[in-house]
Structure 1
Amino acid sequence: MSDSSPLPPARLHPEAELARAALSTPLLSRAARLARWVGPDTRVDAGGGLVEEQLPAAAGLLGLTGTDAAAYASEAWRVALDAGLVEIADEEAGTVRAGEDLALLTGGSPHDVLEVWLAALEVVLADASVPDLDGLVDTLGEEGEIDFSSLDWDQEAEAEFLDGVLGNLYLLTVSEDVPAGEPVPLPALAASMIVPDGMGEPTNDVLEQVSDAMMRLDDQFRMLEPVGLVEYQPVDEALMADTGDSVGEPAPVDDADVSRYGMVRLTPLGVYGLRARLLEAGFAAPAVGELADKGADVLLDGMAHFGQSAAWAETEQWLARREPPVAAEELLTAARGADTGAPLRRLRCQQALSLVGEEAEPAVRDVLDDPELGGLARVWLSERGAAGVPAPSEELVFWLTVDTVAAQLQAEGNSEELQALVEGLAEQHSGFFAAAWRVDHPATADVLEAMGRLHPDKRVAKEARKAAFKARSQRGG
């Protein structure tokens, strides 16, 4: 995932709703209860963790039972400490007190609550990148500390792997190519990090790596669910088998029941959290609604690579803040230009005007004679059955065709829909290429070159490439 290419826009739930969800997550609610429980007799060790004698009381307060009760209580305490819900009062005495951020959970804004939750999330993500240390007594060094150098484990690489998996999960969640809310199979997530692009049938070595990654992710998603990042259906334990030296390795994946191998989906809170982390890491991670208070030029450029559904949602929020006639004028003004992004701006403008409705008609009629917007205006008016729409000249028809194909190239690349459009144009106009290379449009040569690349008929493709050469020669490049 490149940090220079914008991700699809996320649809975030309202902050008030997300804050309520954060407060109800098992881990943050436990951390908050421990922070309120803190008193003058509470003691911590040199690392800030609760002393062992107080873990049973902490576990009892949280209603935790069983062999893992102390571990869960210790984790909640660590979250409370690192998220600012408790703080060290006296390091030498090992005393603590309620932290300043504890009050934010009840008296702060929804954004304040979410900031505390994000701090808790970082604690859990750091823990999830650490291997299970149970039974590692043999790795203790002379000082009684674990000798990590003796382990086959790279903390930085493990954290990067988990970040990559979560990045892919985020991308699948916000993409319009995947049904909203659809859980992702754990094998698919593991394979997305292991299997090289373009590999046909994975080798046994690659399959083994995917299997190992699945087991690591199974443990990690079990840890991430209590903080509210994901909803997770774990790997079915019945699938585990002892196979020689490999204990706990899953059987081969059965495509007929892939859900048994683990299914994960981001929660709305998880989408918010991962987007915040992506932004912090320098990624372009837009959210629907961010452009609502911007100018029409920013709106049209900002939606350049939005999917259709997200573009409509963004436009609706933008239009809700403006009077329709004024909005239509702003959109049309912003759609002008001869730069490379102008064709797609005009396409987005036309789509936005369809949401304005009939109140946009006066502004649209005003640009009928505009060399860049006249074609758009005729299409918009004709689609609504408006009277008195002047017929376009042949020159305008070809200019609009080039502009439309250029916009589709920017929006979709070499898609099947664009290929169908290219085939249709060449079929409907026998002399298309003979005339198209003369079109005075900045993108003429690029469009004709793309048509030559996309058309399946070699003869037609050759015509397109010749026309592209003529267009470049005509423009001096």
Structure 2
Amino acid sequence: MRTWFEPEEAEEFEATKDLLIRRCVTWAKEHGHPADDLLLSAAVDARHESRDGRLAYWDRTRIRFFLLRYVPYKVTASREELDLAPEVLRTYLRYLDVTGLRDPRGATLAEAEEIIAGAQAEYASALDDPTLRGLATFWAHTALDQGFDLTVPGAFERFKRELDAGRVPYDQQVLDKIMQNRLVYGGIDEERAFPQPPVSLPPASELAEAAGRSRTVQRLITLADWVGKDGRALTDAGNLRVADALEVSALLGTGEDQLRIRSATDLPQLNLLLAWARKLRLTRTSKGRLLRVAKAVPLLRDPETLWGRAFEVLPELGRVVTVPVATWRPEPILAEIFDEILPDVLNSMYGLDEMPVVRLEETVWLACQEYVVLDEEEHRLDLLRREVARDLGRMFEILSDLGAVELTHGPADPLYASDLDHDDQPLPPDAVERLRAALSESDLPLVRLTPLGVRGVRDRLLAEGRDAPLVGELATAPPAELLGVLAQHYPPEDAVAELQGWLARPGQDVEMLVRAVRDCPFRTRVGAMLRVLAGALPERRLLQDLRHDPILGPAVWTQLIDAGKMRPGSLSERENLLLGAENFLSVLELAGPEGLVEQLRRMGGGDADEFLEAILASGHPDVVGLRELHELVAEPLRRTARHPLRLVPTRPPGARGRRKKRKR
């Protein structure tokens, strides 16, 4: 079973959601926990509709968002039912935990339960505030309050007629507030972000040392020390005096102290550092003086934290990073959208080696044209493009001084020219031609993120609610949760590195991983976990060793047959039935009962009832799956079939192509 789907994989997601809810409700009844289909569905939807889409990832932010924003905004039900949401969420998270579906990078079960308990009072207040509802939820609640059961066919149409006729009372002030919130803040929907590749980082001590060596960090500390507790006098215009500006420039080593200037504003590097220090609250102005902020002293003594904060606020400094040169356009284009462009550029570099700067210049210029309407003559557009390229270069120099990127020269990797002839190439023809010429050169400016830069970008991605795997972060994860994450979110080579790191920990071995696969209650997830193990441990011949495992045998045979390493004819009659059951149970999970029923109806030959009975009596270890196969597939087929369904297996059970493959 997968717990992550692309937004367009609607059918696959719905089948998995139905399976999750069905199994969770059954488990909850068996263990005496509260469950509710509507609220469970909302919990699954909330995570699927999120920026990262991980159904089994829950942390403090996601738990509180679901209870305090998502349910009030989107869920329509009686107050009695809505009051159950915290306990139903607790049940769902317990189910994810006991089945090994939980994403170990989120909160532990104990942490999650504590977060839910802490949010319950706020949750009640959120339900009491009708202005937190979405527009659709407002009208749905209005209909519910007036006695309209919108689940009954035709009820919505009757409600709308009554509303249009003015016979439905509603709170206009609440509606106005909801519309105002929608206009000012938008809704709560999030745009799905691209998944990021796993990255590796050096030890924390090395990163701390690198932050201390950062030229920008050292300059910010020097600047704050120079300002001192007594401060420095400013001109009437609020700038440093020229003599002071040249003095501190010499201390900072910017090279600007030898310039002949009329004003301190003529020193762009000093202006940037002054603006950076103000943004970081290292300095402030008061009564005509530049002062050091007393509360900033602890930050100045912690270079690593100072580096992180400096990296975090840099997108807000576009107007001092860029420098206007054109008198007919005093505001550089990049300054207007710097807070959008800088994160996008860093994201595009994340997880990659050296990138040719010219490639980034073209994509940034394309983005500038999308963000800003440019109605200029052709020669002026070319000047603007060159201005953007210049400011992008200055941005990289600033990032280099900070220690976030490394600038080098050399030939570009052929990868960056390989897509120039693709039909879906987003760049215009003139940009493609410029790139083709530039990328053929042997000495190009190249840029890559340093480890500090990688960590900084990753921290921001995580703060935005995105998935940004880090090799080594699963070293102590429970075996089932480890394999589940590797199967869905890690490329094979990174999965090998993560698994080897896990096995290197004392007390963690392959048998623990195999046991976790045996305990998994979902056949498709068993297959995915086995593939990860077999791919990461080829020397173990794991699948061959597990051919006769009483629990894993059918899943192992499926993979061996699909890989051409086993002949279906080598199986006994009973083993063929077990293999058929494995495939049927996998389809049941992937396509749902209706999908399996429809697939059976399209087949002909062989009595389907008899075949299903044989499958159900096969002794397959998935007892829960067999029970669902009986109740949700076999029984409906018997009740609705007007003619005997006959089944002719066109391929041997388990042969390649029978099962729906999981998108990787």
What TM-score, normalized by structure 2, do the two folds share?
0.45
Match of 2:358 in 1: 187
Q: How much does 1:281 deviate? A: 2.4
Verify the 8 A CA contact 1:3 1:282 in the aligned structure 2.
Answer: no
Q: Which structure 2 segments of 5+ residues have no match?
A: 1-50, 52-190, 261-265, 368-377, 411-430, 587-647
Quick check: 1:83 aligned with 2:272?
no
TM-score by length of 1: 0.60
Matched residue of 2:315: which SS?
Answer: helix
Kindly tell me: are residues 265 and 370 of structure 1, through their superposed partners in 2, closer, same or farther at Cα, counting changes over 3 Å? closer
Give % identity.
23
Out of 312, 316, 328, the residue aligned to residue 513 of structure 2 is 328
Cα displacement (A) at 1:155: 4.7
User: Do the aligned partners of 1:49 and 1:78 also contact (CA within 8 Å) in 2?
Assistant: no
1:67 aligns with 2:259: yes
CA contact (8 A) 2:318 2:335 kept: no
Please show how residues 136-285 of structure 1 align to structure 2 within 5 Å: 151=331, 153=333, 155=335, 157-171=337-351, 173=352, 181=353, 183-192=354-363, 213-233=388-408, 252=434, 254-255=437-438, 257-258=440-441, 260-285=443-468
Task: Select 2:287's aligned residue among 92, 108, 115.
Answer: 92
Secondary structure of the residue aligned to 2:350 is helix
Q: Is the 8 A contact 1:275 1:285 kept in 2?
A: yes
Q: Distance in 1 between matches of 2:213 and 2:537?
A: 42
Tell me the secondary structure at the aligned position of residue 288 of structure 1. coil
Shift of 1:58: 1.3
**Cα deviation 1:159-182 (Å, max 9, x = unaligned):** 3233222211115x1xxxxxxx4x
Number of residues paired by the alignment? 364
Which one of the candidate residues 348, 354, 378 is aligned to 2:532?
A: 348
Residues 55 and 74 in structure 1, CA contact (< 8 A), matched pair in contact too: no
What is the distance in 2 between the residues matched to 1:78 and 1:269? 22
Residue 498 (structure 2) pairs with residue 314 (structure 1): yes
Question: Match of 1:218, as an amino acid?
Answer: G
Q: Post-superposition shift, 1:28?
A: 0.7
Counterpart in the other structure of 2:428: none
Per-residue Cα deviation, 1:87-137 (whole angstroms, up to 9, x for no partner): 44x82363523644544565x5xxxx433212112344333465744567x
Deviations 1:227-255 (A, max 9, x none): 111112489xxxxxxxxxxxxx9x95535
Amino acid at match of 1:165: V
Query: How far is the alpha carbon of 1:274 from its aligned partner?
Result: 1.2
Flag the structure with larger Rg.
Answer: 2
What is the aligned-residue RMSD (CA, Å)?
A: 4.9
C-alpha distance in 1 between matches for 2:196 and 2:204:
21
Q: Could you tell me how far 1:21 is from its partner in structure 2?
A: 0.9
Cα shift readout 1:283-324 (whole Å, capped 9, x = no counterpart) = 211211222222122212211231222111111222223332
Partner of 1:245: none
Equivalent pair of 2:318/2:334 in contact (CA under 8 Å): no
Secondary structure of the structure 1 residue equivalent to 2:406: strand
Matched, 1:119 2:309: yes
Assess if the C-alpha contact under 8 Å between 2:321 and 2:394 holds in 1: no
Matching residue of 1:367: 549
Offset, 1:61:
2.0
Equivalent of 1:29, from 208, 218, 224? 218
SS in 2 for 1:258: coil
Preserved CA contact (<8 Å) 2:214 2:402: yes
Question: What amino acid maps onto 2:276 in structure 1?
Answer: V
C-alpha contact (below 8 Å) 1:101/1:116 kept by paired residues: no
CA distance in 1: counterparts of 2:308 and 2:466, whole angstroms: 17
**2:338 & 2:536 partners in 1: Cα distance?**
45
Distance between the aligned counterparts of 1:61 and 1:399, measured in 2? 76
Correspondence for 1:387: none
Hey, what's the Cα distance between the residues in 1 that align with 2:571 and 2:454? 49
Q: Which amino acid counterpart does residue 305 of structure 1 have in structure 2?
A: H
Give the drift of 1:261. 4.6
**Structure 1: how far apart are the matches of 2:545 and 2:553?**
15
The separation in 2 between residues aligned to 1:157 and 1:6, in whole angstroms, is 24
- Aligned-pair distance for 1:80? 3.6
SS of 2:337 mapped into structure 1:
helix
Provide the rounded CA distance (Å) in 2 between the counterparts of 1:154 and 1:195. Answer: 12
- Within a 5 Å distance, the mapping from 1:297-312 to structure 2 comes to 297-303=480-486, 304-312=488-496
Give me the whole-angstrom Cα distance separating, in 2, the residues matched to 1:370 and 1:296.
16
Quick one: distance in 2 between partners of 1:436 and 1:101?
Answer: 74
Q: Greater shift after overlay, 217-226 or 71-80? A: 71-80
The correspondence of residues 15-26 of structure 1 with structure 2, limited to 5 A, is 15-26=204-215
> Which deviations, in whole Å up to 9, do the C-alpha atoms of 1:413-462 show, x marking residues without a partner?
xxxxxxxxxxxxxxxxxxxxx74667489x945349x9xxxxxxxxxxxx
Counterpart amino acid of residue 60 in structure 1: A
